[in-house]
A and B are shown apart, each in its own frame.
Chain A
Amino acid sequence: MSLMVLFVLMGALALAAALGLLFARNAVYAALFLVLNMLALAVLYLTLGAPFLAMVQITVYAGAVMVLFLFVVMLLGAETLREEGGPIAWQRPLAAILGGVLVGTLSYILFVEATTGKILPPPEDYATPYALSVKLFQDYLLPFEVASVLLLVAMLGALVLVQIERKRRRNDDQTSD
């Protein structure tokens, strides 16, 4: 019963934060709404018996990723921008209609699938960090290694992208002198 109350509270908070992201005028507010959404989702992970994922969600997503977002928003000074109109203003009502269709079909398909099974109470050692790491380093060792290479490539890619830009601007400065 108390789990249900928690679910309703956190679900409402997550939805409100998502709507805040949708309607925020300022990109910094949008980023902060997304942090709130991720924290609510972390609590929901706890109610689903995933304590390790909840902590990863808070440290990696709400911590690292959103700090990166806020950093770039403030670096570029792109908090507030023109939002109205634009070449494709007619897209807005269409987007609302398509969103309604999407939520209808998604919930129909997933409800039909999700309500067929019976929830068994999870075993005592379900999703402890120990159980997760045994599974990760035995059954999913290759994806784990591939993910580490991918992270390295992404890091190098980000560095190279910024470096090319810097080199080109230096050349521009020299030609203008």
Chain B
Amino acid sequence: MVPTSFYIFLAALLFTIGAVAVLVRRNTLIIYMAVELMLNSANLAFVAFARQFGDISGQLFVFFVITIAAAEVAVGLALIVTIFHTKHSVDIDAMHELKG
């Protein structure tokens, strides 16, 4: 049996890579993919803790997270397509209209 802490450490590393990618990358689509990576790492932690406590509620929560992520991707990508048609760019620096 692999200890739970190994899985948790892996999840922490993946979450950090995702967070750094959100901060560093300028392509909106890649930022979006990094958000998915962070969701996935949280899912891994959920499943690991579900095994540790022998309770499948954690797995069901992952099920719901996947559902919400699918909905989020549909709306988010529609937004990106709409923004692309007005700005002709998916560069995050091009979207500064709200800057005072």
Contacts and interface: CB of A to CB of B under 8 A. Distances in A.
Given A65-B70, A111-B9, A162-B78, A78 B59 contact: no
Given A15-B13, A98-B23, A107-B9, A157 B44 contact: no
Contacts of B25: 22, 83
Given A81-B90, A119-B1, A122-B51, A68 B30 contact: no
Given A50-B47, A147-B68, A117 B40 contact: no
Given A56-B63, A136-B63, A162-B78, A154 B4 contact: no
A140 B93 contact: no
Interface in A119-148: 119-123, 126-127, 131-132, 135-136, 139-140, 143, 147
B: contact size bracket: 35 or more
B60 A136 contact: yes
A27 B71 CA distance: 21
Given A45-B47, A115-B5, A132-B60, A34 B80 contact: no
Contacts of B93: 86-88
Given A72-B77, A103-B13, A155-B74, A96 B21 contact: no
A56 B71 CA distance: 15
Interface string A25-42: 001001100100110010
Interface in B12-49: 12-21, 23-27, 29-30, 32-34, 36-37, 40, 43-45, 47-49
A78 B51 contact: no
B93 to A, nearest CB: 5
Contact of A64 (B17, B21, B24, B70): B70
Contact of A21 (B37, B50, B64): B37
Given A3-B1, A22-B24, A50-B50, A126 B37 contact: no
Given A38-B40, A76-B84, A99-B16, A27 B68 contact: no
Q: Which of A37, A64, A87 has the most CB of B within 10 A?
A: A37
Contacts of B18: 18
Given A34-B36, A56-B66, A72-B80, A132 B9 contact: no
Given A53-B59, A135-B57, A119 B3 contact: yes
